[in-house]
Chains A and B, each alone.
Chain A
Amino acid sequence: MKDIKRFFSNIKKYNKYAIRSAKAELKSEVADSYLNWLWWIIEPICFMLIYTFVFGYIFKNNTQYFASFVFIGLTGWEFFNRMITGSVSLIAGNREIVTKVYLPKYILLLSKSYTYLFKTGISFIVTLVLMLFQHVPISPTILLVVPIFAILYILCFGLGMILMHYGVLLNDLANLTRIALRMVFYLSGVFYNIRQRLGGTLQYVLLRANPAAFSMDELRKVCLEGKLPSFEGMLFWFAIGILLCFIGIKIIHKNENSYAKVI
């Protein structure tokens, strides 16, 4: 309980820094480019168009509203992917800061996550525009995107803290996560509908054991099909997420002041 209290008081104290640092990072990403902030919009559109073309036309896919289907999947996936990849090298990447001042280390992750949330937000808006363009019937269930995403965020944050810690200790972790993420990517049904393509145990396992696949599937349900998500599943992943956060906070609190010695 002491850890939780300390966590929230730290978040309160450093949240403003995290926001400012996130803004600074976003600004600096586009500071020198000619099209400047337009890149935040152009980039997701281009990637999604490429994927839609390749998987929709070349590999022929008959899923309804396929482009929207892919856009929603990718939006969820990109956030998950960025959080995991980003956290592994987070401490080493902020060597300058870590070795010179004390900062609760999850603030680095918090700040990073804000930049990802911003990009995810844009990606969602792009998706929404496309849905209107494709005349997807929009039902009020779309509002449930918020809790589904909140759960994904908590889950990624917890996992991120744990990976952040082991990323300091284990040099190969970045390579391992890259491979693992690639596998999860293809098993998450970004380009295909797990519920249609796969049957039986495989479908059951993938949708339940893979949080990325689960979130994507639920996001599509509420956005495209106007269905309610699986509340039971959401509760399950919410619990897992809280548990991971709890473990992550404990690990970080215990070890964070030793990171400066290692990197």
Chain B
Amino acid sequence: MKKSKEIAVTVKDLHISYRGLKKTSIRASWNKLKDKIEVFEALRGVSFEIEEGKILGIIGKNGSGKSTMLRAIAGIFSPDKGSIDLHDNSISLLSIGVGFNKKLTGYENIYLSGMLLGFSEEQIKEKEKEIIKFADIGDFIYKPVKTYSSGMHSKLAFAITAILETDIMLIDEVLSVGDAKFKEKSYNKMKELISDDKRTVVIVSHNSSTLKELCDEVLWLHDGKIKMIGEPNKVLSEYEKFMNEAK
């Protein structure tokens, strides 16, 4: 049951720092007694909401916390402070080829990857044909993934994530993979997925023109804080101005 009809994602005062856990060795622990522990705050107090069916673009320079934010929304990172509420929507981070076992067939990997993304065997079985058709790699689907060309690999991986849909989709850089023909096909599929009225989408990108074309709203992150949020044209032109000045 969805508690709120309109809001799909609520992020409140989100703080994430890379200090909580630190990989160490016994020797390093000795040294650490002397040194101060470095804390890197990737996100410091970000709050926003996304309405259901809306497409939010996130822009910002390298290291501004875009990917961290996306991974936090996906549940891979936990917030150090603040909260993220998905209002019981299913979510997936569109990432290519998660959990592939290269020695096994593409067919077997559809299930491995799909189940890892949280889908049940039955759900995948239903979509299996569609995935194979979309991937369009012919008989290679029954051959080990390690025999694939890199293009075929990404075609299959894209097909899996694109056909198995969730309520909220998170996209780290708009993916265009494979040869020219598949690139067009995957871009169109992506657009189709994104423009579904019910689906909420968050896209992280460096590319202003993609965001301008696809998004309803753009969020500009700068040094872990929101610099601006609002209408794409306005935010993006400010962002471009800022980036040009920085040069």
Contact = CB atoms under 8 A, between A and B. Distances in A.
Nearest to A255: B21
Contacts of B71: 99, 260
Interface in B60-118: 71, 74-78, 92-93, 95, 98-99, 101-104, 108, 111-112, 115-118
Contacts of B20: 258, 261
A17 B115 contact: yes
Interface in B94-150: 95, 98-99, 101-104, 108, 111-112, 115-118, 120-121, 144
A97 interface: yes
A172 B25 contact: yes
Dominant secondary structure of chain B at its interface with chain A? loop
A259 to B, nearest CB: 7
A28 B23 contact: no
A130 interface: no
Contacts of B121: 16, 20
A171 interface: yes
A168 to B, nearest CB: 7
Nearest to A97: B99
Nearest to A17: B115
A170 B116 contact: no
Dominant secondary structure of chain A at its interface with chain B? helix
A53 B115 CA distance: 46
B95 A172 contact: no
B7 to A, nearest CB: 21
A130 to B, nearest CB: 32
A41 interface: no
Nearest to B16: A261
A32 B21 contact: no
A101 interface: yes
Contact of B25 (A21, A24, A171, A257): A171
Contact of B26 (A98, A102, A170): A170
